[in-house]
Amino acid sequence: MTHVLEISGLVKTFGGLTATDHVSLTVNSGEIHALIGPNGAGKSTLINQICGELIPNAGQIHLAGRDITRLAPAERVALGLGRTFQITSLLDDMTVRENLGLVIQAREGGNFRIFDRAVRRAEIWDEVEQSLQTSALAVRAGVRVADLAHGEKKQLELLMALAQRPRLLLLDEPMAGLGHLESQQMIAALHAARAECAMLLVEHDMEAVFALADRISVLVYGRIIAAGTADDIRANPAVREAYLGE
Ligand code: ADP
Ligand code: MG
């Protein structure tokens, strides 16, 4: 079986510090795989190696069977690696609908900043309406990004990432800074997104992790100390000691 993502023996050092120490994990098609661990465990370092911002000292990364370990970030995106748009890259003076339209246009080879007149506009707007249909943002489609609440911007980031049609979406703390209702909406949106792509979810909010993850890997000091289902992880004494603080 070909995994959507397969990481094997990934090592990344910074001077004398080993930030990821022979990390291996897989993400299957249709799966949400959560990566948890305390601050400084190496979670972001791992995500950055997957998306190509950091090149590992050793180990391999395969995306849908293809070795991407040394490809440039844009080449990985072209092969189906998705990452949420950072709020800072949303276009503030444009509406929710227009931001989505631009990302679809860019996926089809167009510009992300300005609408290209020639590009299949009707198809783009149909797709925009479809992607909004089931979202909490449906009623905010005509609102400028500058006027959205923080949680609404995070919802838009997710829709924009999905509009790129990734095979695998990397999510680095999507619940960060969200209030209770916004968290519930994000959990619902990620649950719905499960039908579209596999996800590697780095998250501190354990309610969200337990609600969403098919499997969980626990990273501590650069090493995976446990991996399994939510029940396996809850029951694991090493995890309770090292991470859940019991
Ligand atoms: P997490 O995301 O799990 O909180 P990080 O991956 O950000 O952890 O960091 C893992 C370790 O690597 C930490 O000790 C951090 O200080 C160190 N680190 C991360 N990035 C760098 C860097 N660019 N240069 C030096 N040390 C780094
Ligand atoms: Mg981090």
Instruction: Evaluate: CB of 19 within 6 angstroms of ligand 1.
Output: yes
The residue type of 97 is: R
- The Cα 172–Cα 80 span in angstroms is 17
Give the distance (Å) from ligand 2 centre to CA of residue 121: 38
Query: Does 93 contact ligand 1 (Cβ within 6 A)?
Result: no
In this prediction, residue 244 carries a pLDDT of 61
What is the reported pTM?
0.92
Nearest CA to ligand 1 atom 6: 42
Cβ–ligand 1 contact at 60 (below 6 Å): no
Would the CA dihedral through 48, 54, 55, 56 be positive or negative? Answer: negative
Complex-level ipTM: 0.98
Confidence of residue 86 (pLDDT cuts 50, 70, 90): low
Percent of the chain residues topping a pLDDT of 90:
78
Which domains are delineated in the chain?
Answer: 1-80+166-246 (3.40.50.300), 87-164 (no CATH)
Q: What is the pLDDT of residues 230-244, one digit of tens each?
A: 999 989 888 888 766
Q: Is 14 in the pocket of ligand 1 (CB under 6 A)?
A: yes
C-alpha–C-alpha distance, residues 35 and 174, integer Å: 13
How many angstroms separate the alpha carbon of residue 19 from the centre of ligand 1?
6
| Among candidate residues 174, 140, 133, 141, the one with its CA nearest the CA of residue 157 | 174
The predicted pLDDT at position 117 comes to: 61
Higher pLDDT, 152 or 91: 152
Q: Is the pLDDT of residue 67 over 90?
A: yes
